[in-house]
Amino acid sequence: MDKLTIVRPDDWHLHVRTGAVLHAVIAATAQQFARAIIMPNLKPPVTSVEQALSYREEILSVLPAGSDFQPLMTLYLTGLTSVNDVKQVAASEHIHAFKLYPAGATTNSDSGVSNIEAAYPVFEAMEKHDVPLLVHGEVTDEKYDIFDREKIFIDSQLQAIVNRFPNLRIVMEHVTTEEAVQFVASAADKIAATITPQHLLYNRNAMLAGGIRPHFYCLPILKREQHRQALVAAATSGSPKFFLGTDSAPHLTHLKEHSCGCAGCFNAPAALSLYAEAFDQVGKLDKLEGFASFFGADFYGLPRNQGHVTLAKTDWQVPEVFHLANETITPLRAGETLHWQLL
Ligand code: DOR
Ligand code: ZN
């Protein structure tokens, strides 16, 4: 197969930031995807409906001319989130979910939830109003090894939430382990997961063997090869529980190439190519459309997109950098030749 036409896809997990960074990165996503779930971990975080609506306006205002890209907004869950906030989100046509960051789990998560049980009344309201909960599934306690944090979160927190709120729709974002795949696959239909391109294509050797490569550093961190294989099997299985979420997370180049580099891979410029590469490697390109274009929309109860995109097996080069006024952002696979190109 050297050409693939699929219904226009969506990105169900995306960071685009604000201001100059937003300006530099938004076109990459808008060229490939019809819609994206926009993460609320700004500084300060997006915690109210008003903030989310004004952030949405900012995103719409920087779209390339003629783009019909739709940002789907989310609110950041904090210890102060109320049942009333849930009702307001349920009533908003533009806000689609709450994002739970355990406090300290990742970039701009300081305002996250430190006592998850204290948020149970909010989960109860989300269950009642059918507002999805998006979860960064990692424990944050320093005593746990960074490679074990996802599994421990499932065992110590997520299983309890699922048991207690059986009708709550939950997306375990950016799953990275065999255990997370098994957990989601064997859970009820209300439980789904997104998978990033980097976790489908790379294990931790890509980041650490033969030199430390900061542009492969994201959270949850890349794991062993057995986990990558479990993720590929899940993504290409045709199960509607697993769908596309890039977790594209731009940081300035100098803050990634740093003695304490930021977590996040800016994969948006090559997102669809990277997913096509991962599906092609296992001979499952026929499963890309469900993963990229159907299952996320179905889970969120949104219509599937009209229109199509075509990928061709043609070499193209990922730009070395994206420019801001005096800074750059380096994409994943910068300067490399990729083999699937969006026409
Ligand atoms: O690597 C990551 N970067 N993981 C996250 O969960 C957040 C993201 C970011 O915002 O930079
Ligand atoms: Zn993210």
Angle at 342 between CA 4 and CA 244, to 5 degrees: 75
Q: Minimum-distance ligand to the CA of 256?
A: 1
Q: What is the mean pLDDT of residues 28-52?
A: 98
Distance separating alpha carbons of residues 57 and 94, to the nearest angstrom = 11
Give the pLDDT mean for 41-46: 96
Which atom from ligand 1 is nearest to the alpha carbon of 265? 1
Report helix, strand or coil for 197: helix
Reported confidence tier of residue 1, pLDDT bands at 50, 70, 90: confident
Alpha carbon distance 25, 322 (integer Å):
8
* pLDDT reading at 248 higher than 80: yes
218 C-beta closer than 6 A to ligand 1: yes
Instruction: State the ligand closest to the CA atom of 136.
Output: 1
**How many C-beta atoms surround the C-beta of residue 50 within 10 A?**
10
262 Cα–ligand 1 center, Å:
8
- Which ligand does the CA of 199 lie closest to? 1
Per-residue b or e along 101-139, where b marks 16 or more CB atoms closer than 10 Å to that residue's CB: bbeebbbbbebbbeebeebeebbebbbeeebbbbbbbbb
Position 133 confidence tier, pLDDT thresholds 50, 70, 90: very high
- Spacing, Cα 307 to ligand 1 middle (Å): 31
Question: Looking at ligand 1, which atom is closest to the CA of residue 39?
Answer: 10
Query: Is any atom of ligand 1 closer than 6 Å to the C-beta of 100?
Result: no
Q: What is the mean pLDDT of residues 296-305?
A: 98
Task: Please give the number of the atom of ligand 1 that sits closest to the Cα of 101.
Answer: 6
Retrieve residue 125's tokens.
Answer: 């309201």
Find out whether the beta carbon of 263 lies less than 6 Å from any atom of ligand 1: yes
**Spatial contact of 304 and 27, defined as CB atoms under 8 Å apart:** no
Q: Are 85 and 75 in contact (CB under 8 A)?
A: yes
Crossing angle (nearest 10°) for helices 19-32 and 271-281: 50
Q: Which CATH class is domain 9-303?
A: alpha beta
pLDDT value for 55: 99
CB burial class (10 A; 0-12, 13-18, 19+) of residue 27?
Answer: middle
With a 6 A CB cut-off, is 220 part of the ligand 1 pocket? no
Q: Where are the domains of the chain?
A: 9-303
The reported pLDDT for the residue numbered 31 is 98
15 lines ligand 1 (CB under 6 A): yes
The whole-number pLDDT of residue 46 equals 97
Asked whether 315 and 339 are in contact (CB, 8 A), the reply is: yes
pLDDT band at 108 (very low <50, low <70, confident <90, very high): confident
Residues with a catalytic annotation lie at 247
Share of the chain above pLDDT 90, in %: 94
**Residue nearest ligand 1's atom 4 by CA:** 219
What's the pLDDT band for 202 if we cut at 50, 70, 90? very high
Cα(5) to ligand 1 centroid in Å equals: 31
**Per-residue confidence at 105, pLDDT binned at 50, 70, 90?**
confident
Which of 139, 175, 199, 218 is the pocket-test mutation for ligand 1 (most atoms within 8 Å of CB)?
Answer: 218
Structure confidence at residue 104 (pLDDT): 77
DSSP state, residue 215: G
Q: Check pocket membership of 264 for ligand 1, CB cut-off 6 A.
A: yes
Q: State whether the beta carbon of 249 lies less than 6 angstroms from ligand 1.
A: yes
Q: CA-CA distance, 330 to 213, in Å (whole number)?
A: 12
pLDDT for 17 beyond 80: yes
Separation of CA 249 and ligand 1 centre (Å): 6
Taking alpha carbons only, the member of 234, 254, 232 closest to residue 242 is 234
Distances (CA, A) of 137 to 20, 149, 157, 219, 320: 30, 8, 9, 10, 32
Instruction: Write the burial class of residue 254 (CB in 10 Å: 0-12 exposed, 13-18 middle, 19+ buried).
Output: exposed
Whose Cα sits closest to atom 2 in ligand 1? 264
Q: Per DSSP, what are the bridge partners of residue 194?
A: 243
Does 77 have pLDDT greater than 80?
yes
Give whole-number Cα distances, 1 to 283, 311, 321, in Å: 10, 11, 31
Q: pLDDT at residue 107 above 80? A: no
